[in-house]
Amino acid sequence: MKAKTLISVVGPTAIGKTSLAISLAKHYSTEIISADSRQFYKELKIGTAVPSEEELLAAKHHCIQHISIFDHYSVGDFEKEAIAILDNLFQTNDIAILVGGSGLYVDAVTNGLDDFPTVPSSYREALNKTLEQSGIGELQHQLRILDEAYYNKVDLENPHRLIRALEICMATGKPYSSFLRKKDVKRPFRTLTIGIKAEREIIYNRINQRVDIMIGNGLLEEARQVYPHRTLNALQTVGYKELFNYFDGTWTLDFAISEIKKNTRRFAKRQMTWYRKNEGICWFNSDDDPSHILEGIDDKLTESTNG
């Protein structure tokens, strides 16, 4: 039986992953699974840079705006759903595309999740109270003390990730990072990871331009719609929490927009730090001709097949 291949497209935000994924889906007559955890929510469209209607029609996409901000949906849920989609897709296709900037969610599909002990809900409840009363800075401080290794690589602006790590640390007395990569999962497909890169200045300029476009497309109104539910985990994300501060009267609109740009740039930097750990990524420049990238991927697929 011919080997099944998952082509995983990674890279920092605003680099052009969606466009490349669609080109690949067309080239190989296949479908796309989104691993962008911000694009899962149907209430969040503009601020998460969901592909346009035209892009969604150009290739079939899975796991985009398929749940609500009110739903409980973990990385484990995503892993199960994505693997089920792949099992079905590989019945008729030899290649599938995975695309997204959420490194943890990409890893869940390609490498499987680690095993973590079950901890009492009281730890999470206490940490959520800390977040509410003292802010995210206190969670960051605690994590740095309890698990500096994970502190140095986690998205420090994501309270859900911080709380998850801290509850494990507190309940077990061991660093969260000590539980990582203990399980070797063998997938029934091979993975070819394609990365898109560019000079930092180019990435930052794209981010700034994208935020301006989002504002012009109605991000302010979208954020206002979900503002009453601002404490939900799904809304603790760049592009919304800054505007919530504007709605509170804490920040001016101009300052909130500048903070969105700054925090998105920081997010892109953390993404690149995550990807640098993976020596198996085949990198292409964002300004490479698409035909050159496709040719390079075809060569890689041929090499792995012959190898």
Write phi, then psi, for 266 (nearest 5 degrees).
-65, -40
Cβ count within 10 A of residue 125: 12
Which residues, including other chains, have CB under 8 Å from residue 45's CB and lie 6 or more apart? 65, 222
Binding residues: 11-18
What is residue 179's DSSP assignment? G
- Phi, psi (rounded to 5 degrees) for 305: -70, -45
For 197-258, what is the HEC assignment? ECCHHHHHHHHHHHHHHHHHHCHHHHHHHHHHHCCCHHHCCCCCHHHHHHHHCCCCHHHHHH
Spell out the alpha helix ranges (H) of the chain. 17-27, 53-58, 75-89, 103-110, 121-134, 136-146, 148-151, 159-172, 200-217, 219-226, 241-248, 253-276, 290-306
- Binding-site residue numbers for ATP are 11-18
Give me the count of residues in the chain: 307
- List residues forming the annotated binding site for substrate: 13-18
CB 160 within 8 A of CB 231: no
Question: Cα separations (Å) of 244 from 150, 222, 227, 247?
Answer: 28, 11, 6, 5
**Taking CA 299 as the corner, what is the angle to CA 297 and CA 301, rounded to the nearest 5 degrees?**
70
Residue indicated by tokens 């509850």: 167
